[in-house]
Amino acid sequence: MLRRLVLTRGPELAVLGFLAAIPLFVTNPYALGLLTLLAIYGILLIGLDVTVGYLGQVNLSHVAFLGLGAYAAGLVVVRLHGGFTFSLAAATLVGLVFGGLLAFPALRLEGPQFALATLSFATLTATALNELEALTGGAQGLSILRPPFLGHPLSASGFFWLCLALFALVWMAMRNLLASQWGRAFEALRDSPIATDAMGVGTYRHKVAAFALGSALGGLAGGLYALNFLYLQPQSYSYDLMVILLLGVVLGGRMSLWGAFLGACLVVLLPNLLSNRLLFQVFSGLGLLLAAYSGTRGLVKKTTRPFQALAPVVAMGLLVVGGLKVQNTEDWRKAIFALMLFSVVVGLPEGVMGFAAKALSKLFHLEPPALPPAASLDEVLPARASDGSSLLRLIDLKQYFGGVKAVDGVSMNVVSGAIHGLIGPNGSGKSTLVNVVSGLYTPTSGEMTLRGRLLPTGSLMRVAGFGVARTFQNLQIFSGLSALDNVMVALRGAYRTPMPLVLLGAARGEERKAQADALALLELTGLGVDARTPAKDLTYGSQRLLEIARALARRPELLILDEPAAGLAHPDVMRLVEIIRRIASRGVTMILIEHHMDVVSELCTTVTVLDGGRVIAEGTPDEVKRHPKVIEAYLGQAPAAGAAAEA
């Protein structure tokens, strides 16, 4: 217990304590200024890492939130004669609000389009700060006097301690957030946005909330920046700085608080690096050694290609040679940053922390805390009474892709408590049909009702809210998460603590409960022993079962299984049949798409057969097997009746 505490919190406390103690011994104002900046950039980069690291999006607008926060704080002080706390609160709020406003449209976009949207926002902000002269003073700049803090004027060291305390708070809050459902959701949505939505977690709203939070931290850092420099100029928040911030996050290591801290150290040191020749040479020499070491190691382990190993060495070599030749490194700053960023992106994509984490984890190996005992299944998946009434009704459903009539007028009725088989040759429209039902596609036409209520269309999220859960023919597990976390992320109604309280660490109780619940579902599917195993390391069969456990976490009324036995060996198929029986015994209605006819015969009461997007037969397994149209449809394919067809 104590060892755990020392190992997990010790390094943080040691570094913070060390930083906090420095002003007691060092009075040099320049050094103190650098330390203050370190704390401010620490907050800024933790905020940037939320989008760049955890959401995996290229965010080029963070510098704009720094600027907006700085001007918000500055204007509160100058125009409203507001105090210290008020100005910082205003800076944070402005970051939050503008971050939210940008996130709503921008996060509908992906990849390069998102990057461009954020770049436009940064440009727009810089221009506005410059041109709104009446408000901001334009290029003239804005001078402010630092208001007293709680009635006391702050000395340089006092201001530093305040910044450091805020940095420590942000660090702690972020750690709490990442250890909660929020952190799991971030990781899940990077691995599979589709499954994140289908599990009712909501990719988009998590992204928007995270972006707004990151921007709020940018705003807070901006407020501190303003109160630190006391003079604001629009050109401080330029594209140059954005590149340096990205360099900081990427070099330090994405998705890591320590990485953000290392990045902040780098950003603070960069100007000195450029003005001090010796420092520059030491740094670029170290960079060259690191590039050579990690490149060689990667080549030996065959994890990097020759280009990946060589390019950073060449880039760093250029820096070393350039450092000897060039008169004034300041003139080359952009080229230097570019070379550094390039080297890191190519040669050390996980950053210094990613690189060090493996070594450190061996050194400080920690068993994860013991899991609570599994909850009772009656609690996690309460048995439903199934009365045989109609649950899902599809009326003349059509889904066309251009000229392809994937689903062409399907009507179907699934009764409550049934295991309803859905079979048909390859390409007959089975997956498309369930994709429409589960909200992945918006149907071309037709009607879908669940218990008489119209099902929403085209939204996995909203259909999930109706009590429909599903697995995917092409696995959509959250590969980076453990088996337990895969199930935990989907648990319905398990997380009620609002985000501000989560930041304060108030979600631990519900986390423990969620672990117990998820464990019960893993045990139901025979994966209890694999709870801590990363999903990507599970066998293929176990991954398929994990998807079922995860879908059950939704406590679904209707569970759709799209070829759960595909690719499974015979013993695993038998296990699966047993598990499906157990699920059915809890009153969960299922649609089972399956190629193995013996599985279908064993489990299903009713079977619908599709061919060419149309229903060609429906009835008991025995009836459809004998149906002439079914026999005809399967001619040329593997035989429908009897033995298992191809996977």
CA 525 – CA 522 distance, rounded (Å)? 5
Residue selected from 424, 443, 467, 564 as contacting ligand ADP according to rule CB under 6 A:
424
CB of 572 to Mg ion, least distance (A): 19
Nearer to ligand ADP, 170 or 590 (CB): 590
Question: What residues contact residue 245 under an 8 Å CB cut-off, 6+ apart?
Answer: 44, 45, 48, 62, 63, 263, 267
CB of 463 to ligand ADP, least distance (A): 17
Starting at the edge strand found earlier in the chain, the sheet holding 419-423 runs 468-470, 558-562, 589-593, 419-423, 606-611, 614-619
Closest-CB residue for Mg ion?
431
Q: What does the DSSP assignment read for 95-142?
A: HHHHHHHHHHHHTTS-HHHHHHHHHHHHHHHHHHHHH-HHHH-GGG-E
Q: What does the DSSP assignment read for 503-531?
A: HTTTTHHHHHHHHHHHHHHHHHTT-GGGT
Interaction residues for ligand ADP, span 377-416 (CB under 6 A): 401, 404, 406
User: With CB under 6 A, what is the number of residues at the site for ligand ADP?
Assistant: 11
Taking CB under 6 A as the rule, does residue 428 contact ligand ADP? Answer: yes
CA 123 – CA 588 distance, rounded (Å)? 53
Q: Kindly indicate which of the ranges 73-81, 111-119, 253-261, 420-428 contains the residues binding ligand ADP, using the contact rule CB under 6 A.
A: 420-428
Phi-psi sector, 200: left (phi>0), alpha (psi -120 to 50), beta = left
CB of 443 to ligand ADP, least distance (A): 13
CB of 566 to ligand ADP, least distance (A): 11
Taking CB under 6 A as the rule, does residue 429 contact ligand ADP? Answer: yes
Nearer to ligand ADP, 155 or 426 (CB): 426
CB of 428 to Mg ion, least distance (A): 8
Nearer to ligand ADP, 236 or 431 (CB): 431
CB of 613 to ligand ADP, least distance (A): 7
Residue selected from 57, 176, 431, 589 as contacting ligand ADP according to rule CB under 6 A:
431
CA 381 – CA 80 distance, rounded (Å)? 57
Nearer to ligand ADP, 353 or 436 (CB): 436
CA 501 – CA 291 distance, rounded (Å)? 42
Going by C-alpha positions, the residue among 287, 275, 305, 279 that lies closest to residue 251 is 287
* Residue pointed to by tokens 């648990």: 491
Taking CB under 6 A as the rule, does residue 442 contact ligand ADP? Answer: no
Nearer to ligand ADP, 135 or 404 (CB): 404
Taking CB under 6 A as the rule, does residue 438 contact ligand ADP? Answer: no
What Cα–Cα distance (Å) separates residue 440 from each residue in 198, 312, 452, 501? 8, 42, 21, 33
Phi-psi sector, 439: left (phi>0), alpha (psi -120 to 50), beta = left
Taking CB under 6 A as the rule, does residue 181 contact ligand ADP? Answer: no
Q: Kindly indicate which of the ranges 80-88, 134-142, 429-437, 636-644 contains the residues binding ligand ADP, using the contact rule CB under 6 A.
A: 429-437
Q: Kindly indicate which of the ranges 103-111, 425-433, 461-469, 528-536 contains the residues binding ligand ADP, using the contact rule CB under 6 A.
A: 425-433
Q: Kindly indicate which of the ranges 163-171, 235-243, 362-370, 430-438 contains the residues binding ligand ADP, using the contact rule CB under 6 A.
A: 430-438
* Residue pointed to by tokens 């996690």: 380
Binding site for ligand ADP (CB under 6 A): 401, 404, 406, 424, 426-432
